[in-house]
Structure 1
Amino acid sequence: MPSCQTGAALSSGHDQAGENKASRLLEMLRQVKDFRAARGKMYDLHFVLAVAVVATLAGAANYRQIGRRSGDLPQRLLAQIGAPYDYFRAAYVAPGESTIREVLTNVDADLLDLLVGVWLHECATRDHDGDLVISLDGKVLRGAWTTGNKQVKLFAAMIHGEGVVVAQTQVPDDTNETTQVENLVKILKHKRGRTIATADAAHTQFRTAILLHKRGIDYVLTVKRNQPTLYRQVFERCLPLLQQTPGHDEEERSHGRIKRWTTWTTTAEDIRFPFARTIAVIRRDEFDLEGNRLTREYAFIITNLRGGRAAPAAIHTHVRLHWGIENRVHYIRDTAWQEDACRAHLGNGPRNLAILRNLALGLLRLHGVKKVKEALEHIAADRNRALQFLAT
């Protein structure tokens, strides 16, 4: 007779710690197909993934750290996330590093990314009645390499404001992120308002604008000299605006500097770009505290939005929040989880570890956490604290 049974099959004699707060998360993870043979399998796949999520919430950055966190998870928490019960030890048991490494190296990363993104999207927009604005941007995992001896690069979509990654895909070795827009946005559906995508100048291409339009997604794109004809047209149209009263002016003080953003908009009439309706120029000035200007730069924007959605204040907000994907996702993954220092490179491991970080970060964001590093340390001090973040 086997000594272990899954937590779901236990009688009421074993402590289930009350209502299972992680039930919705576990339900999502159960949809991931198990690649392992049934013979000799001790742990359900969704349980191994849940352990990895909890360990990531406790700051684990690689296989070894996830294995160590797994080894000292409290019994109450293990029961909540579906651990098997060992009658010989009279305790719930958790997988070690080798099992975790095998699972994360071989589990289907496309499916896991899809499930996690859709689930976080649903959680983040459950009570979202307005427009959904997302940033599109790529990130290189500098410590991870593919079988083709290329660095692993991921392309993701993050909801403005919430800072939650709701879609991600891996960029093939022989191409770049501009070819992966369709793969990324095909799962994004928002029925309560418009979906608006912001992206940097690399995506300011005819093909991308047409693709987003076909998907019912509006765009706000930066125009630079990689599109010389378009840049010249937008520049010449915007130049007279700088002599006029701006439509929006915003200023803030931080880090011993005064920063000011000034925005003008006009119609995109005669601008040759698919479905373009509005263009804008944003002037960014930086001053010292005595009012001496230190820097000045201009950003040119093109969008298919018009009316109130393309008002100067709205354009300013979209462009500023776009870079939140760098500060609120990429930077956090690098600093809180040392992503660029992680040397995992076999199979789907690098991408699956990144998915775990996106999921952990999303769970923290959904619960209003602003200081991520402090939250990870708080959970690491008492793993039972992870339960409040697993509940969605």
Structure 2
Amino acid sequence: MPRNPNKTDYSQGFPEGFETFATITDPRNGGNTRHHFGEILFMALAALLCGVRSYELMEEFCELREKWLRKWLKLPHGIPCANTFSRIFQSIDPAAFAGCIAEHLRQAGFEITAGQIAIDGKALRGSRSGELSHVHAVSAWACESGVTLAQAFVGDKSNEITAIPELLAMLNLKGMVVTLDAMGTQRAIAGQIVEGGGDYILCVKANQRRLHDELRDQFDFALRQLSDKKLDKERWSAARTDESGHDRSETRSILVCHDLSWMDQTVRGEWPGLASVVMVHRHTTLGGGKTRSETSYHISSLGETRAAEMLGYIRGHWGIENRCHWVLDAICREDHNQPRDRHAAANLSTLRRIALNAHNRMPQEGKKPKSLPKRELRAASDETYLEKLLSLM
């Protein structure tokens, strides 16, 4: 006999104000359904906001918080077991679920009209199984607000180049500066950003051989000819920063060429909106007197942006690594989470980013920002704080 003899519809059950996920189709079928789909997603997100890292702990968290959960949920058959959480996240379509990131921000009234968007990929290393490689996610990060705007997943037999256009199509690029590393330095991607009303700064490496050689030769020649006194302020701009800390000191020097009349027109014409080229040199002195030097080249559609601001964008790009990817690995233990099932790995990755967005958007009390573990602890112990994170108040 089926466990749902009355054929009750459990495919919805989203709490009021939590309709972000209502566009997701309940993947369950058959007569064994006993828990509302929307309620399971609500419980999973609440658990992640409180620092829960596994299906077993989701079940334990919900049992401990059952009285609070019943304020918002019906729970007709009590708390779902860990296997129920697992089956749900294995069955949801990852691409559709990833779309909930942007929808969640929209319903929360979050919008950016200017600033920098960094796009970068991240491997979900715990998802590797057998001959299948790990799932690879590409995310768009709003650098100023510290929020993931959208996410897309790379196909099994593809790479980031195919996922980035899909990701850009989810974003409002008008007035934004989009930064990408060398993998995203593609003519079609540059064109899509410009057509969307945005600007780009793209890192150039040997995967774009002709362009890389053109930039390297030009800057080598320019550095031999230019000095501070000879620098034509209309055609060139330069800046430098010096920083020390953590037993290391680093000097960053940037040179921007705003006049591209010297560039081979066949090369220049391949890149839509190209208006300036950039060289950044980093010299680092490490503990024990060891040194390290690195030079990188970039192209940009920003023609009037001077060197100091350009360096800010290039450095700001790494916020997605330091404030998002590192946090997901070191604190949320994303790489140590091993659901094995590729759909589950991708869907939990999306839910973690929604949870991190909620924490980063939450106004903090006091002068000193609280770390993510402290904010998770507060959510776990303070129901009012958790309700604010869930936008229930």
TM-score normalised by structure 2 residue count:
0.82
SS of structure 2 residue aligned to 1:329: helix
**How many angstroms does 1:148 deviate by?**
6.1
Distance 1:239 1:120, change over 3 A: farther
CA contact (8 A) 1:288 1:294 kept: yes
SS of structure 2 residue aligned to 1:36: coil
Match of 1:163 among 146, 151, 172: 146
Q: Structure 2: give runs of 5+ residues left out of the alignment.
A: 229-236
CA contact (8 A) 1:163 1:362 kept: yes
**How many angstroms does 1:202 deviate by?**
1.6
Distance 1:230 1:188, change over 3 A: same
Match of 1:357 among 352, 371, 377: 352
CA contact (8 A) 2:66 2:79 kept: no
Partner of 2:218: 237
The whole-number CA distance in structure 2 between the counterparts of 1:228 and 1:180 is: 23
**How many angstroms does 1:188 deviate by?**
0.5
CA contact (8 A) 1:32 1:112 kept: yes
Opposite residue 157 of structure 2, the aligned amino acid is: D
CA contact (8 A) 2:115 2:144 kept: no
Of residues 140-149 and 110-119 in structure 1, the stretch that sits farther from structure 2 once superposed is 140-149
1:181-200 paired onto structure 2 within 5 Å:
181-189=164-172, 193-200=174-181
Partner of 1:344: 339
The whole-number CA distance in structure 1 between the counterparts of 2:137 and 2:93 is: 15
Distance 1:388 1:363, change over 3 A: same
Distance 1:146 1:114, change over 3 A: farther
The whole-number CA distance in structure 2 between the counterparts of 1:157 and 1:226 is: 22
**How many angstroms does 1:166 deviate by?**
1.2
The whole-number CA distance in structure 2 between the counterparts of 1:148 and 1:248 is: 48
Opposite residue 311 of structure 2, the aligned amino acid is: H
Partner of 2:231: none
RMSD: 3.1
Partner of 1:178: 161
Opposite residue 263 of structure 1, the aligned amino acid is: I
**How many angstroms does 1:383 deviate by?**
5.3
Partner of 1:52: 44
Opposite residue 378 of structure 2, the aligned amino acid is: H
Q: Are 2:95 and 1:110 aligned? A: yes
Distance 1:264 1:75, change over 3 A: same
Equivalent pairs, count: 364
Distance 1:338 1:47, change over 3 A: same
Distance 1:147 1:326, change over 3 A: same
Of residues 195-204 and 28-37 in structure 1, the stretch that sits farther from structure 2 once superposed is 28-37
Deviations 1:108-139 (A, max 9, x none): 2211111223432675743x44x242111111
Partner of 2:327: 332
Opposite residue 97 of structure 1, the aligned amino acid is: A
SS of structure 1 residue aligned to 2:206: coil
Distance 1:377 1:158, change over 3 A: same
The whole-number CA distance in structure 1 between the counterparts of 2:20 and 2:204 is: 39
Distance 1:266 1:109, change over 3 A: same
The whole-number CA distance in structure 1 between the counterparts of 2:227 and 2:87 is: 62
Opposite residue 237 of structure 1, the aligned amino acid is: Q
SS of structure 2 residue aligned to 1:41: coil
CA contact (8 A) 1:106 1:347 kept: no
TM-score normalised by structure 1 residue count:
0.83
SS of structure 2 residue aligned to 1:42: coil
Q: Are 2:310 and 1:323 aligned? A: no
CA contact (8 A) 1:221 1:301 kept: yes
1:1-392 paired onto structure 2 within 5 Å:
23-24=16-17, 26-37=18-29, 39=31, 41-80=33-72, 82-84=73-75, 93-120=78-105, 123=108, 125-126=110-111, 128-129=112-113, 131-145=114-128, 149-189=132-172, 193-242=174-223, 243-245=226-228, 247-267=238-258, 268-269=260-261, 270=263, 272=267, 273-275=270-272, 276-287=274-285, 294-307=291-304, 310-346=305-341, 348-368=343-363, 371-382=371-382, 385-391=385-391
CA contact (8 A) 2:127 2:342 kept: no
The whole-number CA distance in structure 2 between the counterparts of 1:351 and 1:77 is: 26
The whole-number CA distance in structure 1 between the counterparts of 2:161 and 2:209 is: 18
CA contact (8 A) 1:77 1:387 kept: no
The whole-number CA distance in structure 1 between the counterparts of 2:69 and 2:383 is: 8
**How many angstroms does 1:164 deviate by?**
1.3
Distance 1:298 1:368, change over 3 A: farther
The whole-number CA distance in structure 2 between the counterparts of 1:77 and 1:284 is: 52
Opposite residue 310 of structure 2, the aligned amino acid is: I
CA contact (8 A) 2:359 2:372 kept: yes
The whole-number CA distance in structure 2 between the counterparts of 1:123 and 1:314 is: 31
CA contact (8 A) 1:241 1:264 kept: no
Deviations 1:334-361 (A, max 9, x none): 1112111111122510001101110110
Distance 1:78 1:251, change over 3 A: farther
